[in-house]
Amino acid sequence: MHLQWLLGARRLEDLLPLFVIPLGTVVSMAAVSHFGRPDLMPLPVTAGILMTIGQMAFFVGGEAVEGDRREARFEGFVGASMPYSVHLFLRVLALSVLGTLGAAETWFIAYWGFDVALSITRPGLFAACLLLTALSAAGTGVLISALFSMGRTARTFQNAMSGPLYLLGGVFVPVALLPSEIQSLSKGIFLYWAADLLRGCLGYEQKESWGLSLFMIAALGALAFLLGHLVLKRMIHRLAVTGEANLA
């Protein structure tokens, strides 16, 4: 985790999502305010929170493997006693935890910009959801980073998947507003459960029970990490066999 913070300090552009994503919710908040629907303010606030965590974990962290190979750190990490997938998880976790600052940023934008003070009805549950979301985002980030590293450039995959991932996860709008044909896919994305629970903690209607939501956030994140571990293990084996990396 310390390494990732050092890399972030050296590459300040990696921290841009912390500032850009919450500010990007201003348009949605303005629309909600213009139509006199402060009861809908939890929607853009939740979107700002989850997209900030997502951008940090999926897209900044998603380039970690490619960056390690490009900057000749990969062989050293793979040769260490800690499995590379665990090492990668901790690095992405550092980013996703930092991304939870988006919760405070979006809340203050709603308050200072639109005079809507959202009440967190269940602070403990809200904090637990943020923590599990950061952990699950880190696990998912390991899988995404592993898959990105198999292609030519990580950025190509990032640009292709960002919108559909947030849309299917119900981050932009509640899943109930999506076509019924694709709603069933949403429950396989941890963002769906996190978005529903965060909205509920902010006073919006909650569809799923909080216990099931917390379980699914954790379970889907763990599953993504396991898949990422397997992909990385296979990639490392292939690099060793082909001699593309000196892993002796």
pLDDT digits (tens, 9 = 90+) for 33-86: 988 898 999 999 999 999 999 988 887 666 777 767 666 676 666 666 788 888
**Is 135 inside a domain boundary?**
yes
Asked if 184 and 153 touch (Cβ cutoff 8 Å), the reply is no
51 falls within a domain = yes
- Structural domain includes residue 157: yes
Residue 135 and residue 190: Cα distance in Å, rounded? 11
pLDDT of residue 238: 76
- Check residue 243 and give its pLDDT: 61
- Could you read off the pLDDT of 111-145 as tens digits, one per residue? 999 999 999 999 999 999 999 999 999 999 898 88
Minimum mean pLDDT range among 67-76, 90-99, 175-184, 193-202? 67-76
247 domain residue, yes or no:
no
First vs last C-alpha separation in the chain: 26
Q: Under a CB-based contact definition with an 8 Å cutoff, are residues 106 and 53 in contact? A: no
Residue 138 in any domain: the answer is yes
Residue 10 lies in a domain: yes
Which pLDDT band, with edges at 50, 70 and 90, does 174 fall under? Answer: confident
Length of the chain: 248
Pick the more confident residue, 184 or 53.
Answer: 53
Radius of gyration of the chain (CA): 19
Instruction: Give per-residue pLDDT as tens, 208-242.
Output: 889 999 999 999 999 999 999 998 888 877 766 66
Given a contact cutoff of 8 angstroms between Cβ atoms, the answer to whether 215 and 136 are in contact is no
Per the structure, how many domains does the chain have? 1
Residue 248 covered by a domain: no
Residue 95 falls within a domain, yes or no?
A: yes
Range of the domain at 229: 2-242
Question: How far, in Å, CA of 196 to CA of 214, rounded?
Answer: 11
d(CA 135, CA 89): 9
Residue 8: per-residue pLDDT:
45
17 — pLDDT class (breaks 50, 70, 90): confident
Question: Helix or strand or coil: residue 161?
Answer: helix
Q: Can you give the pTM of this predicted structure? A: 0.87
How far is C-alpha 155 from the chain's CA centre? Answer: 16
Give the number of other Cβ atoms within 10 Å of residue 228's Cβ.
24
